[in-house]
Structure 1
Amino acid sequence: MYQSSRLIVTRAGRSLAALLYQGHDALHIASNIWIEVPVKLRKYVSHPQTHALVERMPNPKVKELDVSPALHVLNSEKSLFISLYNTSNRTIRLVPGTQVAQMSPITVASMVDSESPVLPDIRRVNISPSERESLQELLNEWKDVFSQNDLDLGHYDGLKHKIDLTDEHPFKQRYKRIPPHMLEEVADHLRQLEASGVIRPSKSPFSLPVVCCRKKDRRLRLCVDYRLLNTRTKKDNYCLPRIEEILDSLKGAAFFS
């Protein structure tokens, strides 16, 4: 997947409105953590279709919270979700109604087409200029092997994996309850996974429950409870490599992949 286009924007004026944290309860944000929070405009905006840039707002109460800049369409009636990052080494308590960001109007300056893939940043790698140039050429040559986003997992159909069961009788487990407030989020995530080819619709007689978890940045992660499957699987006996031997094999290497 490549970045097909890039939007170049400029500010069109002063801040339109402050954004207030809209949670029902106080939120505790751990150190060095990204988290998405609901916010709402502090005042009514008469032009709801205006595009605006969400950015950090000077506020002594939350000076250690950084805001991930993002473009949004203004809507005085609905909540927005913005990403906050705790830059401090302590937990920050965020109470409802706290000003955490601001919105500034923007205008589109130009649209730039780009076919450049997202590659690893090697600007800070401690190598010589000639080595840096060679490494950049190598990355460009193999650019297709790098993931461009969280759902760009790649696909290989050169072999098929088979799970040998102790018996061939299908088994099912009842699905686990999903909290009502997460139903829409789970449905959206499933649609993304299906569109990316990670999952597909199935009518298999086997069924195991999905478990909803949160990543450190509070994004959704769907896991499958395979414990019942593990009890019905034939066990393989084979020698695992020794960790010491693996580490010894890395001796003298400068780059690892």
Structure 2
Amino acid sequence: LATDVENEGEKTSEPPENIKELLKEFQDILPDDLPNKLPPYRTHQHGIVEVPGSKPTFRTPYRLGLTELADIKKQIAKGLIRPSTLPYGAPILFTPKPDGSLRMCINYRALNKQTIKNKYPIPQIDDLLDQLLGATVFSKLDMQ
């Protein structure tokens, strides 16, 4: 959950009443405070499968300003990112978020070119609608 809520154009740290009700209803499963670092390593580590015979990709980093370098140091200090000694490298850049903070973007296009893509069929709309047969509650999640 976000620490700042925008309600009718005003930013506040206080969530709206409907959100407060949800938080109260599910307080037994929601954490009191959000973590400021990544969760511990899992037993299964994610891997990227590359085309056989491909070599590690490394691209020259983009130039970064002092604000961007400070943001990287802050993320390292929080444990959200860490330095790597792998032979792979992808340049990063920052874009401004609506609130003025920075969003880190990583350019993985070179690595993506030599990655074997997972192929999953897109479900047919008729099959999806059949799965809803008999359902009485529908919801919509708006991710903006």
Q: Of residues 35, 39, 45 in structure 2, which corresponds to 1:160?
A: 45
Does the CA-based 8 Å contact 1:172-1:208 persist in structure 2? yes
**Deviation of residue 220 (structure 1)?**
0.9
Q: Which residue of 2 aligns with 1:211?
A: 93
Paired residue total:
129
Q: Which residue of 1 aligns with 2:61?
A: 175
Higher relative contact order (CA closer than 8 Å, sequence separation 6+): 1
Q: Which residue of 2 aligns with 1:54?
A: none
The alignment yields a C-alpha RMSD, in angstroms, of: 3.8
How is 1:76-87 mapped onto 2 (pairs within 5 angstroms)? Answer: none
Q: Which residue of 2 aligns with 1:196?
A: 78
Q: Which residue of 2 aligns with 1:39?
A: none
Q: Of residues 117, 120, 131 in structure 2, which corresponds to 1:235?
A: 117
Q: Which residue of 1 aligns with 2:3?
A: none
Q: Which residue of 2 aligns with 1:142?
A: 29
After TM superposition, the score normalised by the length of structure 2 is 0.66
- Which amino acid is the alignment partner of residue 121 of structure 2? C
Seen in structure 2, the aligned counterparts of structure 1 residues 174 and 147 have a Cα distance that, compared at 3 Å, is farther
How is 1:1-257 mapped onto 2 (pairs within 5 angstroms)? Answer: 121=15, 123-124=17-18, 132=21, 136=24, 138-144=25-31, 148=34, 152=36, 154-155=38-39, 157-166=42-51, 167-178=53-64, 183-242=65-124, 245=128, 249=132, 251-253=135-137
Does the CA-based 8 Å contact 1:172-1:206 persist in structure 2? yes
Please give the secondary structure, in 1, of the residue aligned with 2:111.
Answer: helix
- Which amino acid is the alignment partner of residue 139 of structure 1? F
Unmatched tracts of structure 2, length 5 or more: 1-5
Unmatched tracts of structure 1, length 5 or more: 1-32, 34-65, 70-117, 126-131
After TM superposition, the score normalised by the length of structure 1 is 0.40
**Deviation of residue 170 (structure 1)?**
1.7
Seen in structure 2, the aligned counterparts of structure 1 residues 140 and 124 have a Cα distance that, compared at 3 Å, is closer
**Deviation of residue 237 (structure 1)?**
2.0
**Deviation of residue 221 (structure 1)?**
1.0
Partners of 1:222 and 1:185 lie apart in 2 by 12
Does the CA-based 8 Å contact 1:147-1:153 persist in structure 2? no
Structure number with higher strand proportion: 1
Q: Which residue of 2 aligns with 1:90?
A: none
**Deviation of residue 211 (structure 1)?**
1.5
Partners of 1:256 and 1:140 lie apart in 2 by 22
